């Protein structure tokens, strides 16, 4: 997982870049639920950044429910939550969509272009769904 992490001088805070890259890695199942994450120190040394910056990213990942921090043992990929009921699922989808639209807008990305790209990316490899 560490090999794929790259920080850029784009004005985006380092902890945000780290958090987003880790979320992408978790989304692609680079690490499976229950698997141990690299230690904060390993990440800080590998990327040559301050340990507190990594801690901030890990705290954000925990707040989002993507990882679980176990004192004295490390950080682990969180198990996926149980599926919510229909109304809660719709509210969750609306919230995520609004966050994504806002993030796209701040990056100068047309949300409709993003939606089309997401549709392409979720297509199964090698064929139509």
Q: For the chain, what are the domain ranges?
A: 2-77, 86-122
76 with 32: CB under 8 angstroms? no
Q: Each residue's pLDDT tens digit in the chain (129 positions)?
A: 677 788 888 888 999 999 999 988 888 888 889 999 999 999 999 999 999 999 999 999 999 899 999 989 999 999 887 777 888 889 988 999 998 998 888 889 999 999 999 899 888 765 554
SS3 label, residue 34 = coil
Dihedral, 13, 7, 16, 119 alpha carbons, nearest 10: 130
CATH architecture of 2-77: Orthogonal Bundle (1.10)
Q: pTM of the full predicted structure? A: 0.65
pLDDT at 125: 67
pLDDT at 129: 46
| Structure-block tokens of residue 42 | 């390993």
pLDDT at 19: 93
| Structure-block tokens of residue 72 | 């004295």
63 with 19: CB under 8 angstroms? no
């Amino acid at each position: 997982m560490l090999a794929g992490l790259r920080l850029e001088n784009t004005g985006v805070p380092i902890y945000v870049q780290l958090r987003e890259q880790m979320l992408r890695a978790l989304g692609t199942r680079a690490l499976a639920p229950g698997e141990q994450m690299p230690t904060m120190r390993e990440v800080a040394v590998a990327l040559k950044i301050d340990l507190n910056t990594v801690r901030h990213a890990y705290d954000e990942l925990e707040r989002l429910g993507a990882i679980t921090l176990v004192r004295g043992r490390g950080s682990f990929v969180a198990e996926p939550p149980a599926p919510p009921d229909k109304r809660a699922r719709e509210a969750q989808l609306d919230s995520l969509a609004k966050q994504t639209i806002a993030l796209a807008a701040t990056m100068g990305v047309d949300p409709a272009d993003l939606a089309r790209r997401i549709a392409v990316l979720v297509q199964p490899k090698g064929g139509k769904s």
